[in-house]
Amino acid sequence: MLRKELLERISVDPNVCFGKPCISGTRIWVSLIVDNLADGVSEDEILAAYPSLVREDIRAALAYAAEMTRERVIPVATEASRP
């Protein structure tokens, strides 16, 4: 599946989940999927916890997150700035 097709799986609707990016047709936030992956939750565990998702939805969430990182920068502490 191409990146464009993956991104089409994401919806942003001000009337659904306060306008947060979700997997289309669900109320599952992109950030929820990405947070789970960052915490070490496996794709299989996510799919088991959210049966309405398919593997392409997880890839779509990652593709959307990648696009968002191109648009804005979130400051994080660097090694030099840590006490």
Whether the predicted pLDDT of 15 surpasses 80? yes
10 forms beta bridges with 23
Provide the pLDDT for residue 45: 98
Within the chain, where are the H helices? 3-7, 30-38, 43-49, 55-71
Give the model's pLDDT for residue 35: 98
Each residue of 20-64: pLDDT tens digit?
Answer: 999 999 999 999 999 999 999 999 999 999 999 999 999 999 999
Domains, the chain: 3-81 (1.10.10.10)
Q: What's the whole-model pTM score?
A: 0.81
